């Protein structure tokens, strides 16, 4: 067996052990690094790079070469070619190339009943043409726009999938997929691009029954989105970013958010998938709810108290995150490594932990590369069990 | 199960197309349904 294959097997085993709740040989190093960061690290322009995703391999190769990782660290979703073709209002490229996400309202208040009655039909007929202006046209033009967009979508994700496999093989990275799909929690789906942040908060007060029914109607769509079309591949997780919880009262979270979310997570686990939650912002007041999810749910924490999280969910679930990525911008190498030691001392004992930052460094100016390298190297060389 | 004008399971599709023979069904089912699932995934991606 070649060295690189043996390395991949070793790294895969470490992650498989963590996902199964076993103590691995060492804490796996699984940072997420945004494509934006990679593009700027390699001296490229965001604007051009996003239009030329054929460079994804070349740029990703440099990241895999220069930074210690056990798992392929990058992905990218917001292709300007796709959103421009559709005339998108929800994803718009800024003058610096960065893809901006303006607040949109895809579903009007008077359309709740239509959505509740048949959510997918309502999405196709009302929501998509409202958010994607080039679909709001005659049927022939609309079919051409949608065909182009579908082609772009498949080309871009096909390229990213192929590059991920190629570079994982080249660098002996783990054969584990933590981002097989990215469905939203049903409440987040209704909140994010259907009603929008402001409206959903008002709707909860004014028309709670409609909100509750809409969330229930959205749940099968989100579940279907996360399930693989064929047999479930091994070592595969569905990624669910949790958005709205921190902005809700606990009683509202328990009524509107948690029931369908929990059911969705349980359905994924029944189907043989792992679940990776991005626990956004500070959700420490929901730790008991999170602990009630199926065993070995992966929880990537952004803010909060790592000691409390370890104590409350760390015996049953898998924790990652908490390392403040802002430190990579403001700290010295020594301070950044000390922070890694502190986080490891809290989260590594007993296993059920892999290393990642609280969020991915977004652009090059958000993390000094020497700090990023030092922290990843430190964990890789020292976090042995 | 999703009830929609714009998404059909293979069983729903077959119910609407009784002219399809058993031989045709065997040959085409997985291929045809794959595209149905891909389009569903694409549409949902547009809203996340």
> Residues of chain B whose C-beta is under 8 A from some C-beta in A?
1-7, 33-34, 37-48
- What does each C-alpha distance from A297 to A23, A305, B22 come to in angstroms? 16, 18, 43
> Are B43 and A189 an interchain contact pair (Cβ–Cβ within 8 Å)?
no
Extract the tokens encoding A337.
Answer: 């490594």
Architecture of domain A3-78+171-382: Alpha-Beta Barrel (3.20)
Give the pLDDT confidence of A100-132 residue by residue, as tens digits.
999 999 999 999 999 999 999 999 999 999 999
Q: From CA A108, how far away is CA A127, in angstroms rounded?
A: 9
| Neighboring chain A residues of B44 at a CB cutoff of 8 Å | 183, 221-222, 224-225
* Residue at token pair 């912002």: A281
What tens digit of pLDDT does each residue of A190-247 get? 999 999 999 999 999 999 999 999 999 999 999 999 999 889 999 999 999 999 999 9
Q: Encoding tokens for residue A80?
A: 């300007």
Question: pLDDT per residue over A308-350, tens digit each?
Answer: 999 999 999 999 999 999 999 999 999 999 999 999 999 999 9
Q: With CB atoms and an 8 Å threshold, state whether A192 touches B47.
A: yes
Give the mean pLDDT of chain A: 97
Please provide residue A220's backbone torsions phi and psi, each rounded to the nearest 5 degrees: -65, -30
Q: Do A150 and B2 touch (CB under 8 A)?
A: no
Q: Is residue A2 scored above 90 in pLDDT?
A: no
pLDDT over threshold 80, residue A15: yes
Nearest Cα to B46, choosing from A225, A299, A363? A225
- A279 phi and psi, to 5 degrees? -85, 90
- Distance (Å, whole) CA A10 – CA A382: 16
Bridge partners (DSSP) listed for residue A275? A238
B44 and A221 within 8 Å at the Cβ level: the answer is: yes
Which residues, listed in sequence order, are joined to residue A92 by a DSSP beta bridge? A100
> pTM here?
0.96
As a residue count, chain A comes to: 385
Q: Do A124 and B37 touch (CB under 8 A)?
A: no
Distance CA A73, CA B30 (A): 33
pLDDT at res. A309: 98
Domain locations along chain A: 3-78+171-382
Q: What is the mean pLDDT of residues A268-294?
A: 98
C-alpha of A106 from chain center: 22
Question: What's the ipTM?
Answer: 0.95
pLDDT tens for A67-104 read: 999 999 998 999 999 999 999 999 999 999 999 999 99
| Chain B residues near residue A87 by CB distance under 8 angstroms | none
Can you tell me the distance from the alpha carbon of A4 to that of A327, in angstroms, rounded to the nearest whole number? 32
pLDDT digits over A339-348, tens only?
Answer: 999 999 999 9
CA separation for the pair A25, A15 (Å, rounded): 10
CB-CB neighbours of A316 under 10 Å = 16
Which residues lie across from A99 on neighbouring strands?
A93
> In sequence order, what are the residues at sequence separation of 6 or more whose Cβ sits closer than 8 angstroms to the Cβ of residue A280?
A241, A242, A243, A245, A246, A302
In this model, does residue A186 exceed pLDDT 90?
yes
| Intra-chain end-to-end CA distance of chain A, in Å | 26
Ranges of chain B with pLDDT below 50:
none
How would DSSP label each residue in A325-346? TTHHHHS-HHHHHHHHHHHHHH
Distance CA A275, CA A298 (A): 6
Within 8 A of A192 by CB-CB distance, chain B residues are 47-48
The rounded distance, in Å, linking the Cα atoms of A295 and A104 is: 36
Which residue of chain A has the CA closest to B47?
Answer: A193
For residue A199, what pLDDT is reported?
Answer: 97
Residue A278, H or E segment: strand A274-282
Please give, rounded to a whole number of angstroms, the shortest distance from the CA of B17 to a CA of chain A.
21
By CB atoms closer than 10 A (0-12, 13-18, 19+), residue A153 is buried
Whether A356 and A301 have beta carbons less than 8 Å apart is answered as no
For residue A249, what are its two tokens?
Answer: 């009262």
3-state secondary structure B1-48: CCCCCCCCCHHHHHHHCCCCCHHHHHHHHHHHHHHHHHHHHHHHHCCC
**Closest to A312 (Cα-Cα) out of A290, A297, A345:** A290
pLDDT at A138 over 90: yes
Give φ, ψ of A130 to 5 degrees: -75, -40
């Amino acid at each position: 067996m070649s060295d690189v294959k043996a390395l991949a097997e070793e790294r895969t085993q470490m992650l498989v052990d963590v996902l199964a709740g076993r103590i691995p040989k060492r804490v796996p190093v699984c940072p997420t690094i945004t494509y934006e960061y990679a593009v700027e690290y390699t001296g490229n322009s965001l604007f051009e790079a996003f239009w030329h995703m054929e460079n994804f391999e070349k740029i990703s190769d440099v990241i895999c070469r220069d930074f210690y990782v056990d798992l392929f660290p990058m992905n990218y979703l917001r292709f300007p070619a796709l959103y421009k073709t559709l005339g998108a209002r929800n994803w718009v490229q800024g003058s610096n190339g960065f893809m901006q996400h303006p607040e949109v309202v895809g579903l009007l208040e008077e359309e709740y009943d239509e959505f509740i009655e048949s959510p997918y039909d309502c999405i196709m007929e009302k929501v998509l043409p409202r958010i994607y202006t080039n679909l709001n046209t005659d049927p022939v033009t609309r079919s051409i726009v949608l065909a182009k967009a579908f082609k772009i979508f498949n080309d871009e994700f096909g390229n990213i999938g192929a590059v991920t496999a190629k570079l994982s093989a080249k660098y002996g990275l783990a054969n584990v997929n933590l981002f097989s799909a990215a469905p939203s929690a049903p409440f987040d789906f209704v909140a994010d691009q259907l009603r929008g942040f402001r409206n959903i908060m008002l709707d909860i007060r004014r028309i709670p029954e409609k909100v509750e029914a809409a969330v229930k109607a959205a749940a099968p769509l989100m579940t279907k989105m996360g399930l693989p079309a064929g047999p479930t591949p091994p070592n595969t997780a569905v990624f669910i970013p949790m958005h709205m919880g921190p902005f809700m009262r606990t009683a509202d979270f328990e009524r509107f958010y948690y029931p369908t979310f929990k059911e969705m997570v349980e359905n994924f686990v029944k189907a043989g998938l792992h679940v990776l939650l991005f626990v956004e912002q500070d959700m420490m007041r929901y730790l008991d709810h999170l602990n009630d999810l199926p065993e070995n749910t992966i929880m990537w924490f952004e803010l909060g108290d790592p000691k409390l999280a370890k104590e409350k969910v760390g015996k049953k679930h898998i924790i990652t995150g908490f390392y403040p990525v802002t430190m990579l911008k403001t700290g010295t190498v020594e301070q950044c490594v000390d922070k890694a030691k502190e986080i490891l001392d809290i989260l590594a004992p007993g296993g059920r932990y892999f290393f990642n930052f609280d969020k991915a460094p977004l652009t090059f100016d958000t993390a000094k590369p020497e700090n990023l390298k030092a922290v990843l190297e430190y964990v890789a060389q020292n976090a042995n069990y | 199960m999703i009830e929609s004008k714009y998404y059909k399971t293979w069983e729903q599709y077959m119910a609407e197309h009784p002219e399809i023979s058993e031989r045709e069904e065997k040959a085409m089912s997985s291929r045809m349904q794959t595209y149905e699932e891909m389009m569903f995934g694409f549409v949902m991606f547009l809203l996340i």
